[in-house]
Amino acid sequence: MRWPAVVFGVLILVLLAAGVWYGLSLSANPFIRQLKEAEAVLQKEPDNFSALMDAGQATYNLKRYSKAVDYYTRATQVKPSEAVAWNNLANVKRDLKRFSDAEKDYQKALTLAPKEVQYHTNLADLYRLWAKEDPEKGAMVEETLLQALKALPGNPRLINMLISYYEAKGELKKADEWWATDGR
């Protein structure tokens, strides 16, 4: 008669320990913690740009993409001249395969910050991904990188990306020319 009670007691202890571990693992996740902190700020200040960006980053890292779109969209509404918000919004839309929307947002980010290398490489990467569904978009990779190099001549990151693009396309002569000229 005592045996079932002992088993039941052990089972309860195991479940309690699992619940405590699960709770600790959630609070130990830095993205969940970041999201909770941002949401606490947004409760008091719904238009707090930093909190919107933090919430967007946390939800993006947690792969809650539709929620990340909401936060980043609100951030672009609060501060429409902040290129980083447009870039981050585009990153999420890219991952959702909303390529046309992402393209517009990357272009907006580049309009606001034309010398930001990351925005150029993100747009080129968008075209590389988009080309899997629409092969005509593949040509936009080269065009985007060449345009970026006009704005940022000699930038090694852009040059390396362009060389890699040419190598992947089998255009080794073009890759060698960029390698030899160091982009100048």
Does this model's pTM top 0.85? no
Cα–Cα distances in angstroms (integers) from residue 68 to residues 8, 28, 96, 119, 157, in the given order: 43, 21, 11, 18, 28
**Spatial contact of 166 and 154, defined as CB atoms under 8 Å apart:** no
pLDDT at residue 178, rounded to an integer? 87
The dihedral sign for the CA sequence 156, 179, 149, 96: negative
Residue 134 · residue 147 · CB < 8 Å? no
Q: Is 66 in the same domain as 91?
A: no
Query: Which of 80, 107, 125 is the last residue in one of the domains?
Result: 80
Mean of the per-residue pLDDT values for the chain? 88
Residue type at 157?
A: R
CATH number of 156's domain: 1.25.40.10
Domain assignment of residue 165, yes or no: yes
pLDDT computed for residue 106 by the predictor: 98
Structural domain includes residue 5: no
Distance CA 127, CA 129 (A): 5
Query: Per-residue confidence at 181, pLDDT binned at 50, 70, 90?
Result: confident
Distance of alpha carbon 103 from alpha carbon 124, whole angstroms? 10
Query: How far from chain centre, in Å, is Cα 1?
Result: 59
Decide: 52 and 72 in contact? Cβ < 8 Å: yes
* pLDDT attached to residue 7: 54
> Where does the pLDDT of residue 180 fall: very low under 50, low under 70, confident under 90, or very high at 90 and above?
confident
Does the structure show a pLDDT above 50 at 23? no
Give me the domain span that covers residue 178.
86-184
The CB-side HSE value for 129 (13 A sphere, CA atoms) comes to: 17
The structural domain count of the chain equals 2
pLDDT of residue 184: 53
Same domain, 101 and 156: yes
Q: Cα separation of 60 and 88, whole Å?
A: 9
> Are 31 and 112 in the same domain?
no
Q: What is the chain's Cα-based Rg?
A: 23
Range 101-105 average pLDDT = 98
DSSP codes of every residue in 101-142:
HHHHHHHHHHHH-TT-HHHHHHHHHHHHHHTTT-GGGGHHHH
In a domain, 4, yes or no: no
Q: Decide if 182 contacts 163 (C-beta within 8 A).
A: no
The pLDDT of residue 25 is above 60: no
Question: Of 80, 102, 135, which residue sits at a domain end?
Answer: 80
Query: What is the per-residue pLDDT across 49-89, written as a single tens digit (0 to 9) for each?
Result: 999 999 999 999 999 999 999 999 999 999 999 999 999 99
The whole-number average pLDDT for the span 33-47 is 96
Average pLDDT of span 84-100? 98
